[in-house]
Amino acid sequence: MQEDERKYFIEMTEKALLEDDVDRMAQHLLKREIIRQHMVASNIDLGEDAKECLSREAKVLERLEVEKKKVLKEMEDLSRKKSAAKTYSPVFPFPPMPIFFDKKG
């Protein structure tokens, strides 16, 4: 059982690192977190894979940092656009057209 959990944990880490889609990456990390919690509660040791796991964890953190920066930049861009939209007031270059016909007839 312990070996299966270790393999699943490593597999989910690898899938998360290789995933291009941020939502799917997050899903893999969430699945991995469930296993991690169980491993900690059961006091399961990673053994010889510890160095590799630590290396992967550093890569996961780097990837999450990159994604965080992307999200913050998108939020800043949206904030600027929202501010620009609020201050924009349309000014038409043409004056209103005069009425050339009579409504009475």
- Using one digit for the tens of pLDDT, what is the confidence trace for 8-63? 888 888 888 888 888 888 888 888 888 888 877 887 766 666 667 777 888 888 88
* Residue 44 structure tokens: 């399961």
Question: What's the pLDDT score for residue 7?
Answer: 83
Q: How many helices (H) and strands (E) does the chain have?
A: 3, 0
How much of the chain, in percent, has pLDDT values that exceed 70? Answer: 71
User: What is the SS3 assignment for 43-78?
Assistant: CCCCHHHHHHHHHHHHHHHHHHHHHHHHHHHHHHHH
Question: What's the pLDDT score for residue 76?
Answer: 92
Question: What's the pLDDT score for residue 74?
Answer: 93
- Tell whether the model's pLDDT for residue 105 goes beyond 60: no
